[in-house]
Structure 1
């Protein structure tokens, strides 16, 4: 018997410090399992890589989780269970150099094709995949995904996150 689609929900989180962004990532990471896709969106400096590092901590993967901008994708195996690993591989992708962040108007089909060339659908059978700059180009990889939009606002450039996706991944419930 196949489970139906998960309930989709939204959540906003205030992120006054980088530590808060990492903590949110850690929280998300504790809920991820193989097959989950997290798409991170937001301007340069919004905290996408900081959030991804927290996700890696929550999954308990070998790190550090740093920006894969120049290599495009990096795989982080889980730490042994005795060291806190949950047994879930993290594949961390940065789509910026695929044209999302570098072109004035990137062609989403071209970027999606380049993501397809990375065989992320294969990774999704055994890993949790986090894609920075993936909004509008990575959603086709799975039926349901978590979108985290990070933003800076106000005179102090305060950060916040808007999470949209399956309730199991969005969290923050009662």
Structure 2
């Protein structure tokens, strides 16, 4: 069981621009050695938040979902830490996580892991866990097309996702105990 967070905060954003802007504000809190876990449904905005973080960190390369390559290193310029961007969605065993060898670069990088909950927390006692959620009523990514469950078929997707998101941040470990997220994330 995970310990209690040292602090929690949340923010409401609208659209990809708002999500990226919050990511940029979050990046001001990050430094080399930080582990950040991103969770949320498919299409919730995890990668969009990562784009805002990467842009504010000044990393090179386009931040996109690393689903098929699993992990990407985005080098930074000007003495800032690199960003390691991982998609752990398809990783299911500790051996698969170990094979990424994230420990070897964690001290000099910010490591951001999408779908990492329950998989990478052991990498660091100090971490941020960020949950990106959208209001109920959007599309359910688990829905099965043609399933005979009495569900209605939706053909007009206008308004299915109005772009509003809640981004909840929980900080764990002594690294975050003295950090006040209010000015940057509030």
TM-score range, shorter chain: 0.7 to 0.9
Equivalenced residue count is 152
Deviations 1:128-157 (A, max 9, x none): 000000011111000110000011114464
How far the C-alpha of 1:63 sits from its partner, in A, is 2.0
- Closer, same or farther in 2 for the Cα pair 1:59/1:167, shift >3 Å? farther
Which structure has the highest helix share of the two? 1
How far the C-alpha of 1:172 sits from its partner, in A, is 2.0
The runs of 5 or more residues in structure 1 that have no matched partner are 1-6, 100-109
How far the C-alpha of 1:168 sits from its partner, in A, is 6.1
Which structure 1 residue ranges, 4+ long, deviate > 3 Å from structure 2? 154-157, 167-170
Q: Which has the larger radius of gyration?
A: 2
Alignment of 1:19-168 (within 5 A): 19-79=17-77, 81=78, 86-99=79-92, 110=93, 112-155=94-137, 157=161, 158-165=164-171, 166=176
Q: Which moved more, 1:58-67 or 1:140-149?
A: 58-67
How far the C-alpha of 1:54 sits from its partner, in A, is 0.7
How far the C-alpha of 1:30 sits from its partner, in A, is 2.1
TM-score for the superposition, normalised by structure 1: 0.80
Distance 2:177 2:18 in 1: 21
Match of 1:103 in 2: none
